Amino acid sequence: MGDLEPTDPSPETPAELPEGITLEDAERITQLAEEDRRPSTRRVYRSKWSLFASWCEKRGADPLPASEELLSAYLAERAEEVSLSTIRQDVAAVKWMHERHGLESPTEGSGIGRVLDGIAQTSDPTGGRGKKQAALTEHIRKMVEALPLEAPAPDEGVAAEARHLRALRDRAILLVGYAGAFRRSELAAIRSEDVSRGAKGMEIHVPETKTDPRTVGITYAEDASLCPVRALGEWTGAAGIEEGPIFRAVPRSAKIATGEEAEPITGKTVRNVIGDAAEDAGLDPERMAGHSLRRGHITQGALQGAGLDRLMKQAGHADPRTTAEYVEDARRMETTTAQDLGL
């Protein structure tokens, strides 16, 4: 399972050597086989393999040998966090470990190739990490300001009421998702019982996560118009939500489902909310999606000087290098040595 040690298994010297092969030949072959990759490459592969094995363990699946479907699911999740080049390293590591154990690799099937092609097609064409652009605070402000938040007059009818409720919900989605650095699936799944409020803000428990369950703290914002705590309270108050899913569909009738009929929105709805708000704000909706809030939090936090350990904890990243890549992206123009060339 996931605790499998990512060692370098070596081909064993056969009990009976093939005709014409001496024991010295076999030992030399074995030694060369052990050096099939540079030490630095083997370290990277072991690290990538360890992440995959841990993910499989949480799924109750055996990583060695892994099925093509299992690896495809892993890569699809990883594509929400890391670049295409990192995904390709993941694939290479899985292939290497299977080959070292003399097992058929799941990477040989055509399915993995199609998954990689799909990730390439949906990746950021500018070459940035992940799929979409980071939504920074300046973008969030524009998106919130573009929402029709003004309360309708009593004589404007049900359609206006539904539009207003939807705007309250969407503002809460944007601000809570951004402040909490949530994955879109985590954001969509938040329930009333997961939220606890206090003097400094609120804590949201995240039971469904790709790593371990975590609790995220969100403080009150100085700017009331951009405060995630107040925004969530206004939405749940207007919608009459006291238990069950926090974020629900807003039908044209403006009658939001309650009780056992209440269903949470999906990650697709989160994506659509962000894309629509970006378009209304004059931003490129093709580059803003569900991951933009999460990536934006880490990027903006890094720009503001938040430490790697705090950002990693907020995002719930299992590997600090994933968080470090975001930070590196955010500070690239500060750390580039092009400024030291005297040009």
Report the alpha-carbon distance of residue 51 to residue 318 in Å, rounded. Answer: 8
All residue ranges of the chain with pLDDT < 70 are 1-17, 27, 29-39, 81, 122-132, 208-212, 328-331, 333, 335-337, 340, 342
Residues 215 and 102 reside in one and the same domain: no
Note whether residue 341 is domain-resident.
Answer: no
Residues 44 and 99 reside in one and the same domain: yes
CA 222 centroid distance within chain: 28
User: Which run of H or E residues covers position 28?
Assistant: helix 23-34
Residues 151 and 113 reside in one and the same domain: no
Domain count, the chain: 2
Of 122, 154, 174, the one marking the end of a domain is 122
Amino acid letter, residue 1: M
Question: Residue 51 has what pLDDT?
Answer: 87
Residues 111 and 184 reside in one and the same domain: no
Residue 245's DSSP bridge partners are 191
Closest by Cα among 246, 217, 249 to 233: 246
Of 79, 99, 122, the one marking the end of a domain is 122
Residues 45 and 83 reside in one and the same domain: yes
Residues 302 and 178 reside in one and the same domain: yes
Note whether residue 15 is domain-resident.
Answer: no
CATH number reported for the structural domain that contains residue 40 in this entry: 1.10.150.130
CATH number reported for the structural domain that contains residue 234 in this entry: 1.10.443.10
Note whether residue 180 is domain-resident.
Answer: yes
Report the alpha-carbon distance of residue 226 to residue 187 in Å, rounded. Answer: 17
Question: Residue 285 has what pLDDT?
Answer: 80
Question: Residue 126 has what pLDDT?
Answer: 41
Beta strand 201-206 with 214-219 is antiparallel
Report the alpha-carbon distance of residue 200 to residue 219 in Å, rounded. Answer: 6
Residues 103 and 243 reside in one and the same domain: no
| Contact present, 325 and 82 (Cβ < 8 Å) | yes
Structure tokens at 333: 């123009």
Note whether residue 11 is domain-resident.
Answer: no
Note whether residue 183 is domain-resident.
Answer: yes
Residue 151's domain spans which residues? 137-335
Question: Residue 32 has what pLDDT?
Answer: 58
Residues 106 and 198 reside in one and the same domain: no
Residues 106 and 145 reside in one and the same domain: no
Residue 217's DSSP bridge partners are 203
pTM over 0.75: no
Residues 266 and 199 reside in one and the same domain: yes
Q: Which 3 state secondary structure label does DSSP give 209?
A: coil
Of 98, 122, 146, the one marking the end of a domain is 122
Note whether residue 14 is domain-resident.
Answer: no
Question: Residue 236 has what pLDDT?
Answer: 95
Note whether residue 8 is domain-resident.
Answer: no
Residues 157 and 261 reside in one and the same domain: yes
Note whether residue 214 is domain-resident.
Answer: yes
Residues 214 and 95 reside in one and the same domain: no
Report the alpha-carbon distance of residue 279 to residue 295 in Å, rounded. Answer: 19
